[in-house]
Chains A and B, each alone.
Chain A
Amino acid sequence: MEGNSLIWLTLGLPILGFLFQGICGRFLDKTASGKKLMGLLAVAPIAIAFVIGALITKSLDPAKAVVVSSIPWIELKGLSIPFELRIDTLSMTMVLIITGIGALIHLYATGYMAEEKDYSRFFAYLNLFIAAMLILVLGNNLMMLFIGWEGVGLCSYLLIGFWYEDVANAKAANKAFIVNRVGDWGLTLGLLLIATLVATSAEIQGETRLFSYDVVFQHLPKILAANPGVATAAALLLFVGACGKSAQFPLYLWLPDAMAGPTPVSALIHAATMVTSGVVLMNRMSMVFEASAVASAVVCAVGAFTALFAAIIAFGQTDIKKVLAYSTVSQLGFMFVACGAGAYWVGMFHVTTHAFFKALLFLGSGAVIHAMAHEQDMRNYGKLAKYLPVTFGTMMIGYLAIAGVPGLSGFYSKEEVIGSALAGNHAIAGALEVGKWSGWICLVVAALTAMYMTRMMWLTFFGNEEQWRKIEPHHAAEGEDDHGHHHLDATHKPHEVPFSMAIPLVALAALSLLGGWFLASGGRFEHWLMASHVGPLTEVPTHPEGIPLMALSVGAAVLGICAGIAVYMKGLPAKEGWDESKWSAFRLRARDQFGYDSLVVNSVTSDSAAFSASANTGFDHGVIEGLGEGAGSATSWLGGIFNSVQTGLVRMYASIMLIGVVVLVLYVVISSGGGK
């Protein structure tokens, strides 16, 4: 297969770009023309990689997975892990998203970062990210998946902390890195468990490529079917990994902070590509999740909860990027629900459409921020539609797509997520039909999504006043702005984006408008993606009988939009304004993520120091005492967390009791219905 070897080029070009930017960049990006050249040399490799990827995809036989081998990498007695690539529908879908949207965002970034002094460092990281992400999706063995997984984590860290002189950004980068370690712990154990299962299986005689997908996939279904308990363990471990990278509860808390990075980074890494790798992992390893209905139920439950939780938090945000960040967390929850429900392709479908419209929304928000002198608080916006016609028009399409208006891309995928969950064929724990419940929750979240996105659009583009006119004139004494930009003040005049930033907006708007319809019509995407699927698969209808799915999802979207317009038509309501004492208590709590973030961060950071100190003295005074102290302080840390609900308020206690009663009653009724 001569043509398929070209895939090495797709992978190699971003690496070349990275090397060139990293080595030569700092000599060339001192002048404006040098920057133009570097920008071109950053976009070109990704664009070419996309073209090559598209050519390979065109000639691909969907039913066949091709392994392009291979450079020897790790060779041991009885174990060989080559550097090999796998071309199939799943990997090529991701390749097209990564390089296609990646190229558009690179192009956008050449305009967005034009004033930046570390121009080439930015593009070096960005190209490296593309390369790592491609290794993640293209690799044909578990080790390459791991390398890619860690590589994108590194790039994400570097890019969140791109403006590292700002302590908040450096902290956000650290947070992302550390929280992801928790997830990586699960992923590592899961991968090793799977490899161990394969290696110890009797039928593996003579095979040494124990980590390679083609070998693993051949033997794994039988092994897992024989050991359902192990299947659940493996699935849950992989899921922990997916939770970390894809920002699901309880590990979501790094993603909102990650918005401290430059906006193109948010669009590319923290919306369109990297954060979806959890979904890709679950697609790749679908046979593990197929083997365990319980683990799938956990996936569904976590996904649905995250979707709801993040959607509620989004209402309390005033930073335009934070709203989009929580909406990303929430949409990722949708994808997890689909995967948990056994409709893996629906998860990928939502990954695809979400990549279109969420990248668009992020780039649009970047354009707004760019136009408003790097002000991100929506309370300073208002009536921007007349200043930024291109941004407004394209963002409107992205907004309608995410809200689920029929005909736009988000509608198709979201409807199928809800439908496949409501079908309830897979995610069942005992007698509890977690899948169906998740489906209904997703329907509610769909309405909430439409509403908070309406809030964002209306506060930004409509309303009665141009809120920034009220800002007092800027005093020079306040000191230099961090990134050398001028401040927003009453005299500010917003300016529309340059041409290089407008092209990606328009292209993504077109994709958001038509992509969903194109991929959904005639089940095109499903047939294409599932053609090369390996392993058992539950039949999951996306439009279960007896449920007016179309009416429900359109209803949810319309309801959300109308409610949003009704509340925000006149622009910023007083009870959401600058005076936060007028905010409702619930919105204030939502703004603070209901205390979850600070709880985790404070308890971990303040007591881990005590923990390590006690471990230190422990080694001086003897290991036993150290162990005792360590375990003691670890538990008292845990106690601190529980203690936070011990508020002393009777109403709090009564509500917790009530929750306990409801859970108990549900549990009892359901488990006694089981017929014991």
Chain B
Amino acid sequence: MIPTIDWGVIGPVAIVAVTGMIALIVHMITGNSEKNFTQKVTVFGLLIALTSLLAAGGSERFVLQEMVVMDRLGSVGQLLTVFSALIVALVSPAYLEAKRIKLGEFYPMLAWATVGGMIVCCTRNLLVLFVGIEILSISLYVLAGLHRTSKKSEESAIKYFLLGAFATGFLLYGIAMFYGATGSLNMSTLVSYWLHGAPENKILLSLSFALIAVGIGFKCSLAPFHQWTPDVYEGAPTNVVAFMATGGKVGAFVALWNFADSFGHAGRFVGMTIATLAVLSMLVGNVLAMAQKNIKRLLAYSSIANAGYVAVAAASVAIAFRLNHIALIFFLFGYVLTSLGVFVVVLAMAKDGEEPMSLDDLKGLASRSPILAYSLVVFVLSLIGLGPVSGFLGKLFILKDALTANLAWLAVVMVLNSIFGAFYYFGMLRSAFAPAEGDARPISLSIPQTFSLSVCVVGVIGAVVFYAPLLAHLGLR
């Protein structure tokens, strides 16, 4: 029997996938032309997908024989993934030109990576999850090696690929064990087997939990599966990293949360396991970020720390059954907009084949481009979690969840880590407002760059200002 297809649910995914194909064909026809049709097609397709996502609504439902689930978290996740792809697509031309990377394949690959991320967001079926993760990962492997003449880019691609393949093995093995124990691939069957199943199944299930957690943890860059992150971030082209760190992470974070959530009443030990990973990630991320001089490595460790905060939310939901996903939604919203904003700033500074590498390269930003510098202030405030910007709200909600789940100690660790974070984030600002060294020419921003930057700034501030209507719109009130 052919299932009835709910286009409202899978439509946006299909649109992005087709956009990628069309973009590839357009690129084949036009080549690297001045007009850059490939980019325009991609931006257009992503805009349509974004609109259709905003228009789609309706109740939470399973479609396509329960392979796809449409819930609030999933649609927000998809929205954020597409949004980050869109922003990256907007600011990339200037960067790629400045770095003299003349490869139009970037845009189709970006679209397909987006497809992978979107699929991961909207499923609780492990096999679909796996397919989504692989689509996302393989596209990212290729993208990481985009700068083919740069050894570092090549190295980061191969490194990412090898370690990613390693992690995929664990994920797949875990899924196989899950199937062996339950005869199903749906996460929601887990609870009943866990509570009422045979004891030997329980061992199999807990093994499968561990292995799946490894697979997802790798994608989220949770410690101790995080080590690829700084190396890949450092080597890959910065616009690719901008997507990796935002859109590429959203799916993984949502999957982690869904997975933790599906343990239902039985999640105590799952929660404690994830809490351990969370503590490790926060510590590793924040402590190591402190020692970094390279901007991209610093942001890599910052994203590891942020993965730790997400894991705190996941641990809480595993323990306190049926927590609202409002905390994760707000956190993701703040995280994606803020990180994108920082990357837009860094990307805008690229010039003559060079881009800012070390924190010292940020020096003089305030005099070269006050707009970039003051936007950076907003983003840094948000990253630290100071009010009144969105990063603050997300962290606040996660802390609240942790307290609801009786994880007061975890909340304390998280607060302490946020304080650590202040040290290195402020280091970025200190450089930005220091007198210029070397190049002191003013930085001019293109229209797409200005647009992206203002969207991020407005979003980061707006999330707090319009917090109540936003909640109402999301149907969470």
B252 to chain A, nearest CB (A): 16
B160 — nearest CB in chain A belongs to which residue?
A650
Asked whether A8 is an interface residue with its Cβ less than 8 Å from the other chain, the reply is no
Asked whether A78 is an interface residue with its Cβ less than 8 Å from the other chain, the reply is no
Return the CB mask of A569-590 against B: 1 if under 8 Å, else 0. Answer: 0000000000000000000000
Q: How far is the CA of A631 from the CA of B272 in the complex (A)?
A: 29
Asked whether B436 is an interface residue with its Cβ less than 8 Å from the other chain, the reply is no
Cβ < 8 Å to A, chain B residues 362-394: none
Q: Which segment of B45-53, B161-169, B327-335, B400-408 sits at the interface? A: B161-169
Asked whether A671 is an interface residue with its Cβ less than 8 Å from the other chain, the reply is yes
Q: Which segment of A170-178, A198-206, A659-667 sits at the interface? A: A659-667
A639–B218 CB distance below 8 A: no
B286 — nearest CB in chain A belongs to which residue?
A635
Return the CB mask of A639-676 against B: 1 if under 8 Å, else 0. Answer: 11011011010101110110111001101110111101
A652 to chain B, nearest CB (A): 8
Q: How far is the CA of A642 from the CA of B203 in the complex (A)?
A: 34
Chain B neighbourhood of A673, CB < 8 A: 203, 206
B423–A665 CB distance below 8 A: no
Asked whether A632 is an interface residue with its Cβ less than 8 Å from the other chain, the reply is yes
B210–A639 CB distance below 8 A: no
B423 — nearest CB in chain A belongs to which residue?
A632
Asked whether B214 is an interface residue with its Cβ less than 8 Å from the other chain, the reply is yes
Q: How far is the CA of A646 from the CA of B229 in the complex (A)?
A: 11
B287–A638 CB distance below 8 A: yes
- Most chain A beta-carbon contacts within 10 A, residue among B207, B213, B288, B420: B288
A646–B288 CB distance below 8 A: yes
Asked whether A636 is an interface residue with its Cβ less than 8 Å from the other chain, the reply is yes
Cβ < 8 Å to B, chain A residues 385-428: none
B155 — nearest CB in chain A belongs to which residue?
A648
Cβ < 8 Å to A, chain B residues 176-230: 202-203, 205-207, 209-211, 213-214, 218, 223-225, 227-228, 230
A660–B214 CB distance below 8 A: yes
A635–B214 CB distance below 8 A: no
B317 to chain A, nearest CB (A): 16
A654–B206 CB distance below 8 A: no
A665–B211 CB distance below 8 A: yes
Q: How far is the CA of A370 from the CA of B205 in the complex (A)?
A: 64
A639–B273 CB distance below 8 A: no
A624 to chain B, nearest CB (A): 13
| Given A657-B218, A660-B214, A665-B211: A650 touches B287 (CB 8 Å cut-off) | no
Chain B neighbourhood of A668, CB < 8 A: 206-207, 209-210, 269, 273
A643–B291 CB distance below 8 A: yes
B287–A642 CB distance below 8 A: yes
A648–B162 CB distance below 8 A: no
> Given B163, B167, B227, B420, which contacts A635 in the complex, CB threshold below 8 Å?
B420
Number of interface residues of A (CB under 8 A): 32
Chain B interface residue number, banded = 35 or more
A672–B269 CB distance below 8 A: yes
B163–A661 CB distance below 8 A: no
Q: How far is the CA of A661 from the CA of B171 in the complex (A)?
A: 11
B291–A664 CB distance below 8 A: no
Q: How far is the CA of A673 from the CA of B288 in the complex (A)?
A: 35
B273–A660 CB distance below 8 A: no
A638 — nearest CB in chain B belongs to which residue?
B287
A669–B230 CB distance below 8 A: no
B290–A654 CB distance below 8 A: no
> Given B230, B269, B292, which contacts A676 in the complex, CB threshold below 8 Å?
B269
Q: How far is the CA of A673 from the CA of B210 in the complex (A)?
A: 14
A592 to chain B, nearest CB (A): 23
B166–A676 CB distance below 8 A: no
Chain B neighbourhood of A674, CB < 8 A: 269
Asked whether B140 is an interface residue with its Cβ less than 8 Å from the other chain, the reply is no
| Given A636-B290, A639-B287, A639-B288: A646 touches B269 (CB 8 Å cut-off) | no
Asked whether B67 is an interface residue with its Cβ less than 8 Å from the other chain, the reply is no
B108 to chain A, nearest CB (A): 28
B272 — nearest CB in chain A belongs to which residue?
A671
A672–B206 CB distance below 8 A: yes
Chain B neighbourhood of A652, CB < 8 A: 227
| Given A657-B227, A665-B210, A668-B273: A676 touches B268 (CB 8 Å cut-off) | yes
Asked whether B282 is an interface residue with its Cβ less than 8 Å from the other chain, the reply is no
> Given A628, A638, A656, A669, which contacts B227 in the complex, CB threshold below 8 Å?
A656
B43 to chain A, nearest CB (A): 36
| Given A638-B287, A639-B290, A676-B266: A657 touches B207 (CB 8 Å cut-off) | no
> Given A640, A646, A654, A659, which contacts B230 in the complex, CB threshold below 8 Å?
A646
Q: How far is the CA of A640 from the CA of B292 in the complex (A)?
A: 9
B202 — nearest CB in chain A belongs to which residue?
A672
A654 — nearest CB in chain B belongs to which residue?
B166
B206–A661 CB distance below 8 A: no
Q: How far is the CA of A665 from the CA of B173 in the complex (A)?
A: 13
A635–B290 CB distance below 8 A: yes
Cβ < 8 Å to B, chain A residues 600-630: 628
B423 to chain A, nearest CB (A): 5
Return the CB mask of B314-329 against A: 1 if under 8 Å, else 0. Answer: 0000000000000000
Chain A neighbourhood of B167, CB < 8 A: 657
Asked whether B351 is an interface residue with its Cβ less than 8 Å from the other chain, the reply is no
A658 — nearest CB in chain B belongs to which residue?
B166
Chain B neighbourhood of A676, CB < 8 A: 266, 268-269
Asked whether B397 is an interface residue with its Cβ less than 8 Å from the other chain, the reply is no
Cβ < 8 Å to B, chain A residues 500-546: none
Chain A neighbourhood of B96, CB < 8 A: none
A654–B163 CB distance below 8 A: yes
B282 to chain A, nearest CB (A): 13
Asked whether B170 is an interface residue with its Cβ less than 8 Å from the other chain, the reply is yes
A10 to chain B, nearest CB (A): 51
A661–B269 CB distance below 8 A: no
A665–B207 CB distance below 8 A: yes
Q: How far is the CA of A631 from the CA of B422 in the complex (A)?
A: 12
Return the CB mask of B270-302 against A: 1 if under 8 Å, else 0. Answer: 001100110000001011111110000000000
B399 to chain A, nearest CB (A): 22
Q: How far is the CA of A674 from the CA of B277 in the complex (A)?
A: 20
Give the A-binding residues of B (Cβ under 8 A): 158-159, 162-163, 166-167, 170, 202-203, 205-207, 209-211, 213-214, 218, 223-225, 227-228, 230-231, 266, 268-269, 272-273, 276-277, 284, 286-292, 420, 423
Chosen A-B contacts, 10 in total, with CB atoms closer than 8 Å, are A639-B290, A639-B291, A642-B287, A652-B227, A660-B225, A661-B170, A661-B210, A668-B269, A673-B206, A674-B269
Give the B-binding residues of A (Cβ under 8 A): 628, 631-632, 635-636, 638-640, 642-643, 645-646, 648, 650, 652-654, 656-657, 659-661, 664-665, 667-669, 671-674, 676
Other than A632-B423, A660-B214, A661-B214, give 20 A-B pairs with Cβ distance below 8 A: A635-B420, A636-B291, A643-B288, A643-B291, A646-B230, A650-B158, A650-B162, A650-B163, A653-B228, A656-B224, A657-B214, A660-B223, A660-B224, A661-B210, A664-B213, A668-B210, A669-B203, A669-B206, A672-B202, A672-B269
